[in-house]
Structure 1
Amino acid sequence: MKPLVSIITPMYNNANVIERTISSVLNQTYPNWELLLVDDASTDQIKAILKPYIDKDSRIKLYSHKNNKGAAKARNLGTKMALGNYIAFLDADDLWESNKLQLQVAQLKSNNTDVCFGSYEWIDSEGDPLNKKVHALKSLTYKKLLKANYIGNLTGIYNCEKLGKIYTKDLKKRQDWLLWLEALKRSEKPAIGITKTIAYYRITEGSLSSNKTSLIKHNFNVYRVGLGFSFLKSVVYLIQFFNEHLFVKKRLIKPIT
């Protein structure tokens, strides 16, 4: 029996893009998955769009919040309902390559790692390529991940049987970084990165990376609130983060020629 992969997709007013996202899951060459769609009290017509998919394919399931609670609680609800051996994440406006799960399940089954991630490319709000690729490291330790977030959440998958279910703290941003830190903290093995492109990340106006003030605040909160570091230790790690982010991690973002 092939391991079951639970895919968690939080949604909030994503009616204009959700069909392409679901299609990228339906097109997976690895068939044993369940897609847990968590609607965070959307006000658009997303439920009407989802109904035909849910009616047609029993692997697609919908859960809903009555009130908007944010991405962290939406992901946590998906995690609570997940039945899979492995858990992966795909935001409602991002896309996967068709062999994404097949490549990653093979890595997790090899028992060389409990966490797998990969390279991804940027697309614009219309889904057109921006000709930029974020290259994944081949191996990633907890210590390295603590310096900067090297795991694109849309590419991450972890072994739930080995590590247990991981619930993220309710920070406004960067909860995904905390989740992968917790995964590597629980594991005795480094994460393995797939260097091929396995996903496509949609860049929109007002994204976190474009707002430097928000970047400082939200990353400080990862250390201070999320990890419970002292104020001084959080400042030291924040300085280390910017050094890593600007002079090391940025080298992994390269034009596609």
Structure 2
Amino acid sequence: MTEGLVSIIMPSYNASQFVTESINSVLLQTYLNWELLVVDDCSKDDSVRIVQKFVDIDQRVRLFPLEKNVGAAAARNVAIGQAKGQYIAFLDSDDVWNEDKLEKQLAFMKQNSYAFVFSDYYVMEEDGRKTGNIVRVPISLTYHQYLRNTIIGCLTVMIDRKQTGDFRMPLIKSSHDMALWLLIMKRGFKAYGLKEVLAGYRLVSTSNTSKKWKAAKDVWKVYRKIERLSVLYAMYCFCGYVLHAVLKRI
């Protein structure tokens, strides 16, 4: 594990339309000590060729093309397994970061000795136009608070592995990030929110989270199958999840 290095985890699948913008937002970071690990999940478009161009011009960008499609969780785990950094950050191949994202989050973490941080982010349309919706995060979340308010945006998360220990994402369809945050919180770590907009989330019509009913079913699966909550407590948490999901979109 390399002290101070940020390993950026990027799964990619048929992302040729957006991946250039996503990688450029990493290249523009004011904090320079990073590596970008792109795992291409057997794309059928030009994604690999596009990413390879970045690999050729910047040795901090590393590409791992998979021979079969394994899904976002397993693809992220391939990258995490290859990561050399003390810090792990996540960026999907259709989202973007503000250029000072890493610098500000690292300062926030180091100043407070935090192991797990996230931030506000804005929402944009598929074509990149900002919707005007900004997701505002709380100051902190505990395990039980997060069960009822799954507001942590994966694209804003940074984790200090030196404090939390190593980890992998649970292999479920679309709520594997939620399951990972809960796993880390169960190790005794709060998640701390930096109340500043540092990233942009793209609404893509083919994404899992765009299918709201399916996403809700996956959240329920996390409650019952992974966290093994009682039916009553799971229903209580699910009501909170629905309420906060609605508020997030207002």
The TM-score, its normalising length taken from structure 1, stands at: 0.90
Whole-angstrom CA distance in 1 between matches of 2:3 and 2:112 = 15
Tell me, yes or no, if the aligned pair for 1:40 and 1:67 is still in contact at 8 Å.
Answer: yes
Whole-angstrom CA distance in 1 between matches of 2:206 and 2:62 = 30
> What's the CA shift string for 1:162-197, capped at 9, x where partnerless?
112210111111000011111222244x22111111
Q: CA deviation at 1:110?
A: 2.3
Paired residues for 1:1-257 under 5 Å: 3-188=4-189, 190-205=190-205, 207-208=207-208, 211-227=211-227, 229=228, 233=230, 235-248=231-244, 250-254=246-250
Whole-angstrom CA distance in 2 between matches of 1:210 and 1:9 = 19
Same amino acid, percent of matched pairs? 36
Tell me, yes or no, if the aligned pair for 2:175 and 2:215 is still in contact at 8 Å.
Answer: no
Unaligned runs of 5+ residues in structure 1 are none
What root-mean-square deviation, in Å, do the aligned CA atoms of Structure 1 and Structure 2 show? 1.9
What is the number of equivalent residue pairs in this alignment?
249
Tell me, yes or no, if the aligned pair for 2:3 and 2:86 is still in contact at 8 Å.
Answer: no
Secondary structure, counterpart of 1:107 in structure 2: helix
The TM-score, its normalising length taken from structure 2, stands at: 0.93
Whole-angstrom CA distance in 1 between matches of 2:152 and 2:77 = 18
Unaligned runs of 5+ residues in structure 2 are none
User: Larger deviation: 164-173 or 239-248?
Assistant: 239-248
Whole-angstrom CA distance in 2 between matches of 1:140 and 1:114 = 13
Q: Give the 3 Å change call, closer, same or farther, for CA 187–159 of structure 1 in structure 2.
A: farther
Tell me, yes or no, if the aligned pair for 1:114 and 1:187 is still in contact at 8 Å.
Answer: no
